[in-house]
Amino acid sequence: MAYRAPRIEDRGALAKWFEPPAIGAMAPGTKIIVYSLLAIWTLFVLFPIYWLLITSFKSAADVNNGPFFIPFVDYQPTLQAWRDLFVLDWQDTIRAYLNSMVIAVCATALCVLIGSMAAYALARITYRPNLVTILIFVAIAAGVIYTAFALGFDWRVSAAVGAALFFFLARAIGRRYKIHLGNGDILFWMISQRILPPVVVVIPVYMMFQSVGLLDTHIAIILTYAVINLPIVVWLMYDFFDSIPKDLEESAQLDGATRIMTFREIVLPLSRAGLAAVTLLVIILCWNEYLLALFLSTTEAQTMPILVSAMNAGERGILWWTMSAVIIVMIIPVIAMAAVLQKFISKGILLGAVKG
Amino acid sequence: MNVQSNISATQSAPAEQRLVSETARSLKLQGLNKHYGPFHAVKDLSLEIEPGEFLVLLGPSGCGKSTALRMIAGLEDITSGAMVIGDNDVTHVLPKYRDIAMVFQSYALYPHKTVAENIGFPLKVAGASPAERDAAVKDAASQVQMEDYLHRYPKELSGGQRQRVALARAIVRRPAIFLMDEPLSNLDAKLRSFMRAELKHMQQTLGVTTVYVTHDQIEAMTLAHRVAIMRDGVLQQLGTPTEVYDNPANKFVAGFMGSPPMNFIKGSLSGGTFTSAYGQVSLAGYADHDNVSVGFRAEETSIAGPDKGHFSGIVFSCEMTGHETIVTCEMDDGHAIVRAAKDYSIPMGAEIHLTVDPARVCVFDESSGVRIRPETA
């Protein structure tokens, strides 16, 4: 049979429903399906927030006799939960709120600062760490810890002996083996730290801060959060820095700029969008983190997620109404920040850099 | 390879009248080598460039010309050899102390800075006062006719305009050496030939020492005071465009320069006669050689009658370009290209006879590509 080009009159019923009537248009059938799915998804996403909002204005009786969906119709809203939160227990609430703010902001700042510098270095400098030297270091570090903590030697002596041994062995043995790792290996090693489930390291981290007497302090949680989120920052910012054309930096270098100047004048302004996105991501992760905060804080450094979970441990059973109010208070700053940072996460900043 | 002798033969640049800027410096490369691990990218490159000279580094992609330029700029370290700008040895000196400016193939304009900020960046880095900077930026911008665009961003400019901004940023500081890495290759054909003329004009009025890298032999021919042709990291020939065109040092140079390039026919030389499967021509003064290749340029070849021509071939295509007709003949492994008058026409597949100028043909050793010169000149 000879080939015949398809003609518009020959369209079947299915094509009439699901074939776009014109280029760039949407077929009626597709439209119905897509918008129905979107509507369902919207309900699915927004309903919990709506439920939180109305629950925070319910009394204990309304919650227990419910479910009631529409305020003023199904039940009479009350400010009881909000009064509990900001009048009765205001010290706890405000403290947790401030703790969360301070910890999230400081940890994020620290993490993004260190992480972006590391990412920039990985994107622009070729490292060739010697595998054998690394293994020697790991073995000696393990030996130092073992002798100091298990065998009871003075840790200063162990550390000094270990350092001396490392430099000796690194020069004597490490240099002979030419097995080198590259930037990709370093990057993968970093992200592998994030693959590890946090619950695995919770006990060691707890013991570490216990031994230096930093439990239930801001500094302990800030340091922990900064460290656990470093891999994400390095990974994302590496990609971002890598996409900035090298020509721009070489050009700046030829124009006489130092490395620091190049970073400040060229790289930083161009990576503003990436930094904003990463900052937002890390701050949300810090803001919502529960497990580590549970172990590292008791009262003084308690954060919002801990406060929320404390609501279901009261003598009066689970305080759904207060819990809802706390959660609403907790999500407001995240939404506000996302709105502010959104402006920076604009595309096309690199447009016009290198191509005609 | 018989490269060194060819270089020394053409080492001295012609003493033509040339404007030289006060800031322009000479550049000497002495036996530069660049290794990337086992890969030898640039092999023993030696060049001397006079103040105010326009030198073009020409070669196919991957020949080491860009690496050589990056070594001059200081963006790549020099494995061995020495480099002198003016009287200063700068072999291992950081780029910022070399007093060079570079125009990148991609232009490398800072997208978040305006045209004025882009042009003024080298001065800002150097710590010039805003007033000084302003004056210099205006001056540089006017040299490239961009003074009306100072407050635009690069993304709002066309390719040609971006190119001008990149040029202005390079000249604003009056560098000792001016480097350009294929600056015209991102422009469309029409704009490219226009910017080529602009570049030549600007280089001559400014009198800056310029090293220009390109793979386009037309750019090299038109712009350069001298051309350095490279292949596989080795300098093949250094000379004025005319020398390189008329007197190629080897088959590679002969085949690379000119559009259309030189035509070649393989054959043998004996008793002062070159014989090939396509005809013969008497070349007096050449020693006997079994395996040679004779090269002749399209414009030095004419179409002859059936019994008069030196070589004969089959017409492959006949193209009228407007001011002339280009006839391509099937001959040897490849094609030979001949220019004819605009009203000349010959059907495809017809036999064609060519006459060459025996005094102008070049003879090359087919296996090594080295030029063979007549023993009695």
Choose the closest CB to A254 out of B101, B106, B187: B101
**What does the pLDDT read at residue B7?**
42
Q: A270-280: buried (b, 16+ CB within 10 Å) or exposed (e) per residue?
A: bbebbbbbbbb
> Is the per-residue pLDDT at A120 higher than 50?
yes
Under 8 Å CB pairs connecting chains A and B tally to 86
What token pair was written down for A184? 């990709």
Q: B100-103 and B177-181: which strand pairing? A: parallel
Residue A316 pLDDT level (bands cut at 50, 70, 90): low
Judging contacts by C-beta atoms under 8 Å, the chain A residues touching residue B169 are 255
Question: To the nearest whole angstrom, how far is the Cα of B145 from the nearest Cα of chain A?
Answer: 18
Q: For A52-108, how does the pLDDT look when each residue is reduced to its tens digit (9 = 90+)?
A: 888 888 887 777 777 877 778 778 888 888 888 888 778 888 888 899 999 999 999
**What does the pLDDT read at residue A264?**
87
Distance CA B1, CA B14 (A): 26
Judging contacts by C-beta atoms under 8 Å, the chain B residues touching residue A268 are none
CA distances from B128 to A287, B103, B124 (A): 46, 22, 6
Q: Is A59 on the interface with B (CB under 8 A)?
A: no
> Is the per-residue pLDDT at B334 higher than 80?
no
Q: For A10-44, how does the pLDDT look when each residue is reduced to its tens digit (9 = 90+)?
A: 888 888 888 888 888 888 889 999 999 999 999 99
Q: B289-296 and B209-214: which strand pairing? A: unpaired
Choose the closest CB to A350 out of B100, B111, B125: B111
Q: Is A110 on the interface with B (CB under 8 A)?
A: no
Mean pLDDT value of segment A256-273: 87
Percent of chain B with pLDDT over 90: 36
Q: For B180-191, how does the pLDDT look when each residue is reduced to its tens digit (9 = 90+)?
A: 999 888 888 888
What token pair was written down for A185? 């290996």
Choose the closest CB to B125 out of A248, A255, A354: A255
Distance CA B202, CA B296 (A): 35
Q: Which of A178, A243, A255 should one mutate to test binding to chain B, selecting the residue with the greatest count of B CBs within 10 A? A: A255
> Is the per-residue pLDDT at B5 higher than 50?
no
Q: Single out the residue of A47, A50, A78, A85 nearest to residue A62, CA to CA.
A: A78
Judging contacts by C-beta atoms under 8 Å, the chain A residues touching residue B109 are 352-354
Three-class SS of residue B105? coil
Residue B159 φ/ψ region, left for φ over 0, alpha for ψ in the -120 to 50 degree band, beta for the rest: alpha
Mean pLDDT value of segment A277-282: 88
Q: Amino acid letter at A287?
A: W
Q: Which residues pair with B284 in a beta bridge?
A: none
Tokens 């239930």 correspond to what residue? A216
Q: Single out the residue of B72, B58, B7, B29 nearest to residue B228, CA to CA.
A: B58
Complex-level ipTM: 0.80
Mean pLDDT value of segment B168-196: 88
Q: Amino acid letter at B97?
A: Y
Average pLDDT, chain B: 87
> Is the per-residue pLDDT at A197 higher than 50?
yes
Residue B304: which H helix or E strand, with range?
Answer: strand B301-304
**What does the pLDDT read at residue A174?**
73
Q: Which of B103, B104, B164, B177 should one mutate to test binding to chain A, selecting the residue with the greatest count of A CBs within 10 A? A: B104
Residue A1 pLDDT level (bands cut at 50, 70, 90): low
Mean pLDDT value of segment B141-160: 89
Question: To the nearest whole angstrom, how far is the Cα of B121 from the nearest Cα of chain A?
Answer: 7
> Is the per-residue pLDDT at A329 higher than 70?
yes
**What does the pLDDT read at residue B9?**
41
Q: Which of A124, A250, A251, A270 should one mutate to test binding to chain B, selecting the residue with the greatest count of B CBs within 10 A? A: A251
Distance CA B354, CA B300 (A): 10
Judging contacts by C-beta atoms under 8 Å, the chain B residues touching residue A261 are 125
> Is the per-residue pLDDT at A153 higher than 70?
yes
> Is the per-residue pLDDT at B340 higher than 90?
no
More confident residue, B1 or A345: A345
- Give the count of alpha carbons within 13 A of B314, CB side only: 8
* Residues 191-250 in A contacting B (C-alpha not used; CB under 8 Å): 245, 247-248, 250
Residue A200 pLDDT level (bands cut at 50, 70, 90): confident
Q: B334-340 and B325-331: which strand pairing? A: antiparallel
Choose the closest CB to B95 out of A254, A266, A355: A254
What is the sign, positive or negative, of the torsion defined by CA atoms of A61, A62, A63, A66?
A: positive
> Is the per-residue pLDDT at A340 higher than 90?
no
**What does the pLDDT read at residue A314?**
63
Q: Single out the residue of B219, B206, B54, B53 nearest to residue B143, CA to CA.
A: B206
More confident residue, B101 or B3: B101
More confident residue, B153 or B332: B153
**What does the pLDDT read at residue A346?**
57
Question: To the nearest whole angstrom, how far is the Cα of A107 from the nearest Cα of chain B?
Answer: 29
Q: Single out the residue of B24, B40, B30 nearest to residue B7, CA to CA.
A: B30
Residue A334 pLDDT level (bands cut at 50, 70, 90): confident
**What does the pLDDT read at residue B53?**
92
Contact A251 B102 (CB under 8 A): yes
Tokens 């302003």 correspond to what residue? B134
Judging contacts by C-beta atoms under 8 Å, the chain B residues touching residue A344 are none
Choose the closest CB to B73 out of A252, A254, A270: A254
